[in-house]
């Protein structure tokens, strides 16, 4: 059976880390480490959820007891935890390097002037970390001896995760190269419309939603019914956050204002889906 104390403690860890980061960032009105701190929180909470039962036993009962070796965990726990840490490391590094080049993040231009609102942004990130990686924490809360076999769903989910991760990485890389080439005046395009950006206006976000759906799929077989339901909320919440709140809406609004009279952009917008890629097959 899953350990509710592990899930609650992991959520507490997410909020504690983000609260600490907020107390440092708010006086300086700086968002430069916001995304990086989110990635660090993902990694910390993943490791914490994996080792929490052992840490609890060590603190409360036997301080001399050693922490378990990685080989003592179930393959599902190691796979899901490893993938989460890989994703968080890659994304955190990418976003940190990006903000170092740009100098700021326009999302925070207004709210960082208000300490309460700025603190709310850090707490929102803690909530994001808690909900998004919930399937991972849920699996880690179940003792390895009680885990079901990885099975077909787990293997398929692992493959889907790898494909989704590569999709996100490729999309980010293509846009970074596009920006570099534009800065070097290799091209004078106003917006990117090639590569994966020719089949979706936001392919990086597509990859992100799909990789979290993959995590829920890998976790499915070993979770009790109530945790299955909660784990499914992870990709759903990620999709709604991206498409309705902080991802697509501000980007689409900015693009519409910037290129509302640009015929090339309007044609691109007409033929390219805003999110889910439209794969067309023509039969002659």
Q: For the segment 29-66, what is each residue's pLDDT rounded down to a tens digit?
A: 999 999 999 999 999 999 999 999 888 878 888 888 88
Percent of the chain at pLDDT > 70 equals 97
Q: At 9, which helix (H) or strand (E)?
A: helix 4-28
Supply the mean pLDDT for the chain.
94
Three-state SS at 254? helix
Q: Which long-range contacts link 18-22 to residues 24+ away (Cβ below 8 Å)? A: 18/122, 18/123, 18/125, 18/126, 18/129, 19/122, 19/123, 19/126, 21/122, 22/118, 22/119, 22/122, 22/123
The packing angle between helices 75-102 and 34-60, to 10°, is 150
Backbone angles phi, psi at 78, to 5 degrees: -70, -40
Instruction: Give the span between the Cα atoms of 142 and 50, in whole angstroms.
Output: 9
Do the Cβ atoms of 36 and 92 come closer than 8 Å? yes
When pLDDT is cut at 50, 70 and 90, the band that residue 102 belongs to is confident
- List, in order, residues 6 or more apart from 176 with CB less than 8 Å away: 98
Q: List, for residues 129-187, the tens digit of each pLDDT value.
A: 999 999 999 999 999 999 999 999 999 999 999 999 999 999 999 999 999 999 999 99
Cα(219)–Cα(83) distance, rounded to whole angstroms? 13
pLDDT beyond 50 at 281 = no
Residue 104: per-residue pLDDT: 84
Phi and psi angles of residue 237, each rounded to the nearest 5 degrees, phi first: -65, -40
Helix (H) or strand (E) holding 7: helix 4-28
- Per-domain residue ranges for the chain? 1-147, 148-274
Q: Residues of 233-247 as b/e, b for ≥16 C-beta within 10 angstroms?
A: ebbebbbebbbeeeb
- Percentage of residues of the chain with pLDDT beyond 90: 85
Q: Is the dihedral of CA 48, 67, 218, 277 positive or negative?
A: positive
Can you tell me the mean pLDDT for 100-109? 85
Give the helix, strand, coil percentages of the chain, each rounded to 5.
75, 0, 25
Closest CA to 169 of 258, 87, 261: 87
pLDDT of residue 250: 92
List, for residues 218-251, the tens digit of each pLDDT value.
Answer: 999 999 999 999 999 999 999 999 999 989 999 9
Helix axes 151-183, 203-220, angle to 10 degrees: 160
Q: In the structure, what pLDDT confidence band is assigned to residue 107 with cuts at 50, 70 and 90?
A: confident
Closest-CA residue to 138 (of 91, 69, 74): 74
pLDDT number for residue 64: 85
Measured distance between the N- and C-terminal CA atoms of the chain, rounded to whole angstroms: 56
The predicted pLDDT at position 89 comes to 98
* Per-residue pLDDT band at 282 (split at 50, 70, 90): very low
> What is the chain's Cα-based Rg?
21
- What sections of 61-202 are H helices per DSSP? 75-102, 115-132, 134-140, 151-183
Q: Using the predicted structure, report yes or no on whether residue 69 has a pLDDT greater than 80.
A: yes
- Predicted pLDDT at 284: 33
């Amino acid at each position: 059976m899953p350990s509710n104390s592990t899930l609650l403690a992991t959520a507490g860890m997410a909020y504690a880390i983000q609260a600490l980061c907020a107390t440092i960032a708010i006086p300086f009105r700086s968002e430069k480490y916001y995304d990086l701190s989110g990635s660090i929180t993902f990694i910390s909470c993943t490791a914490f959820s994996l080792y929490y039962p052992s840490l609890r036993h060590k603190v409360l009962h036997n301080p001399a007891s050693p922490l378990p070796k990685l080989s003592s965990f179930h393959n599902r726990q190691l796979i899901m935890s490893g993938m989460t840490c890989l994703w968080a490391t890659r994304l955190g590094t990418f976003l940190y390097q990006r903000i170092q080049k740009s100098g700021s993040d326009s999302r925070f231009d207004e709210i960082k002037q208000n300490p309460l609102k700025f603190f709310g942004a850090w707490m929102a990130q803690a909530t994001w970390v808690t909900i998004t990686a919930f399937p991972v924490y849920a699996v880690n809360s179940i003792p390895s001896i009680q885990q079901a076999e990885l099975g077909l769903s787990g293997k398929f989910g692992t493959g889907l995760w790898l494909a989704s991760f590569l999709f996100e990485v490729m999309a980010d890389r293509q846009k970074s190269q596009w920006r570099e080439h534009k800065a070097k005046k290799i091209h004078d395009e106003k917006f990117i419309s090639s590569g994966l950006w020719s089949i979706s206006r936001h392919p990086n976000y597509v990859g992100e939603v799909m990789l979290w759906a993959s995590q829920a799929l890998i976790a499915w077989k070993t979770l009790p019914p109530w945790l299955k339901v909660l784990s499914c909320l992870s990709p759903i919440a990620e999709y709604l956050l991206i498409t309705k709140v902080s991802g697509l809406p501000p980007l689409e609004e900015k693009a519409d204002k910037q290129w509302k009279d640009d015929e090339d952009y309007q044609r691109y917008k007409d033929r390219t889906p805003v999110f889910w890629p439209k794969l067309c097959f023509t039969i002659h």
